[in-house]
Amino acid sequence: MFENLSEKLQRTFKNLRGEGKLTEENVNEALREIRLALLEADVNVKVVKQLLDTVKEKTLGTEVMTALSPGEQMVKVVRDELVAILGQDTAKMKFASQPPSVVLMAGLQGSGKTTTSGKLAGWFKKGGHRPMLVSVDVYRPAARQQLKVVADAIKAQIYEGKTDENPNTATVERLAKEARREAINSGCDVLIVDTAGRLHIDDQLMEEMQLLKKQLNPSEILFVADAMTGQDAVKSADEFHKKLALTGVVLTKMDGDARGGAALSIRNVTGQPIKFIGVGEKYDALEPFHPDRIVGRIMGMGDIMSLIERAEEKMDKKKSEEFAKKALSGDGFSLEDFRDQLRQVKKMGSLQSLVKMLPNIGPFQGMQGAADKVDESQLTRVEAIINSMTPYERDHHELINGSRRKRIARGSGTSVQEVNQLLRQYAQMRKMFKGMSKSSFMQKRLAGIKLPGM
């Protein structure tokens, strides 16, 4: 979502690299470009002014390191100030001294509140907690049913309760009270309460939220905001905060084509941290918000830490080590090994999302643009081709002759040309890995790989 902003900032910094030193003239020129880039990204005007005033003061003051080039100086100052705006540290969730800890979800209708409630339950489960979900949106049966579907998908407990024939605020309070009691009886240490949404903020909504806050004494009140709505999300968050004293924000649809202004404005306007971001439709597509990593993506520096964490979570370490040992050995890896690694990579997400975590410098420069042109369905076709081979063919690719290639193409719904292309690329990869294994450095690394039973 930060592609346009990132591209414009990098262009500005590049123009400064040709300067011998930072002067008021070239700093003002760079700040004009940065201001335009931030406003186009829908960043709050007050936030933009505050950022630029601080950047100008520091770049023309005595705090700049003389060892850095003009471009590097500006990059450092802008990066530090963006991190300060988003919050220096990753915000932690608060827990009650006596369980269950109640998380009250607030937000307007259509912001993704119900789905986010389920995703949050999944996040708690991964952390060793026992969450329970409850929907107190008694006005929309579809919302309660949606939460049940999500809870079933992630295998989380849900308290359904019964609604009255003519549901009202009293029904909401009763359901919340029953859910809390059920959480205690079931040994659940977290209760996530999905509240009713509205198309706009009104008195009834706020009164109901205030009653729930008084009744449940929540550890967290999280406002769920749709990042695609930009400054409207910031304005709504500010209004909710004035009435409820929010403890944090969850930004949804961060994987879309939003301009990013909400992420850069919402903490400054409300004073409350962004705690999570939604990065996809799957129920595990919820990530803690790391300000320094997000700024790294904006500045084109990548987000290697998140990439590593995703790999550790999604990939089978044992299989990866076995593949590395085979690939760098004299015998090489089979098509079956290649298919297994392909499946593991697909678990990590789309190629576009993975490439966007790489720094846009050095050998990785230009990869983000190339990744946008990648046809993700091609990976599915590659897997289908390998699946159409017999186990013996996967281990002995050199035996796949013309008639076998025709059979494999028919079985996978592809063409003989696509089969030929896969086999050719596979042969090139084996050759490349064999070349790597001959270097003394790689031999030492290979010797250090210890697999179970060896």
Write the pLDDT tens digit of every residue in 224-279: 988 777 778 888 888 889 888 999 999 887 765 555 677 778 888 888 888 998 88
Instruction: Say whether pLDDT at 441 is over 60.
Output: no
Q: How confident is the model at residue 232, as a pLDDT?
A: 80
Report the candidate in 406, 404, 231, 429 with the shortest Cα–Cα distance to residue 327: 429
Q: Which CATH architecture has domain 3-86?
A: Up-down Bundle (1.20)
Q: How confident is the model at residue 295, as a pLDDT?
A: 77
Report the candidate in 332, 399, 379 with the shortest Cα–Cα distance to residue 408: 399
Q: How confident is the model at residue 388, as a pLDDT?
A: 93
pLDDT-derived band at 302 (thresholds 50, 70, 90) equals low
Instruction: Say whether pLDDT at 117 is over 90.
Output: yes
User: Would you give the DSSP letter of residue 228?
Assistant: G
Q: How confident is the model at residue 313, as a pLDDT?
A: 62
- Give the model confidence (pLDDT) of 310-346 as tens digits: 666 666 667 666 666 766 665 667 888 888 878 777 7
Q: Which CATH architecture has domain 101-301?
A: 3-Layer(aba) Sandwich (3.40)
Q: How confident is the model at residue 453, as a pLDDT?
A: 36
| Angle between helix 377-387 and helix 335-347 axes, rounded to 10 deg | 150
Q: How confident is the model at residue 364, as a pLDDT?
A: 46
Q: Which CATH architecture has domain 316-447?
A: Orthogonal Bundle (1.10)
Instruction: Say whether pLDDT at 363 is over 50.
Output: no
Strand order in the sheet with 286-288: 157-159, 131-135, 190-194, 101-106, 220-226, 248-252, 274-278, 286-288
Q: How confident is the model at residue 42, as a pLDDT?
A: 78
User: In the chain, where are the structural domains located?
Assistant: 3-86, 101-301, 316-447
Q: How confident is the model at residue 12, as a pLDDT?
A: 75
pLDDT-derived band at 3 (thresholds 50, 70, 90) equals low
Report the candidate in 371, 107, 120 with the shortest Cα–Cα distance to residue 262: 107
pLDDT averaged over every residue in the chain: 79
Instruction: Say whether pLDDT at 69 is over 80.
Output: no
- Give the model confidence (pLDDT) of 372-410 as tens digits: 565 667 778 888 999 999 999 988 888 899 999 999 999
Q: Are 135 and 114 in contact (CB under 8 A)?
A: yes
Instruction: Say whether pLDDT at 63 is over 70.
Output: no
7-11, 41-45, 159-163: range with highest mean pLDDT: 159-163
Reading the block at residue 304, the tokens are: 């290697």
- Give the model confidence (pLDDT) of 211-230 as tens digits: 999 999 999 999 998 877 77
342 Cβ contact partners less than 8 Å away, ≥ 6 residues apart: 379, 382, 383
Instruction: Say whether pLDDT at 442 is over 60.
Output: no
Q: How confident is the model at residue 296, as a pLDDT?
A: 74
Q: Are 109 and 236 in contact (CB under 8 A)?
A: no
Q: How confident is the model at residue 315, as a pLDDT?
A: 62
What percentage of residues in the chain have a pLDDT greater than 70?
Answer: 75
Report the candidate in 77, 80, 135 with the shortest Cα–Cα distance to residue 105: 135
**Three-state secondary-structure class, residue 112:** coil
Q: How confident is the model at residue 339, as a pLDDT?
A: 85
| Residue, of 62 and 290, whose pLDDT is higher | 290
Report the candidate in 74, 5, 7, 11 with the shortest Cα–Cα distance to residue 42: 5
Q: How confident is the model at residue 389, as a pLDDT?
A: 93
